[in-house]
Amino acid sequence: MLAFLAMSIFSLLSISQQRVALRFHGMVYGRDIEMAATDLVMTQIGRIQSLPFDEADVNLSRRGNPRNNIEDLTPRENLGPEFNLEGEPDLDDIDDYNGYQASIQHPFNGVIYSFDMSIRVRYKDLNNLTLLQDTTYHASVSLAKEVTVSVKESDIPEERPRVSIEVRRIFSPAELRYH
């Protein structure tokens, strides 16, 4: 009887230890996928940063001088991609990414993670760049565009909350600001 009791206690301890190990593994994996999501967002922002501010700037050589007026900027209602002859989006300036959505397989530290990504581009009022006021999203054309990159883990895990990251950055022809 004592042997059966000892085996029962040992079994309970073993199961408890395995639960703790699985929970720890889930937390570590959660941190890895958070780092992968952050890497994906920063990679995408770096890609967008390398593009001209507006379609009007794509084929212009400004000789090192940034745009300093709103002449010929894309109207806010037309923010989004232009399409090439094959019907594919032509992502050649910042605002072409407005409305962009994709499911992405992102390699990070030798593991491939699945994410759903969406991007929003809005003009910002130069006199009020705060992110807290939604009215700034209704600004007409200006020399500031806010790019919001949102990434969510594609699969919904049972053992932890779904990883979701959103980064906003304001782009201007003359200066870049993180928010």
* Beta bridge pairs of residue 165: 151
CB-hemisphere CA count at 13 Å for 173? 20
CA distance 34 to 138: 32
- pTM for the model stands at 0.75
For the chain, give the percent of residues with pLDDT over 90: 30
Residue 122 predicted with pLDDT over 60: yes
Residue 21 predicted with pLDDT over 70: no
What number is the average pLDDT over the span 92-102?
92
Contacts 24+ apart (CB under 8 A), 56-59: 57/93, 57/173, 58/92, 58/93
Count of residues making up the chain? 179
Residue 147 has φ and ψ, to the nearest 5°, of -110, 125
At 178, the pLDDT band (50, 70, 90 cuts) reads very low
Residue 28 predicted with pLDDT over 60: no
pLDDT at 179: 35
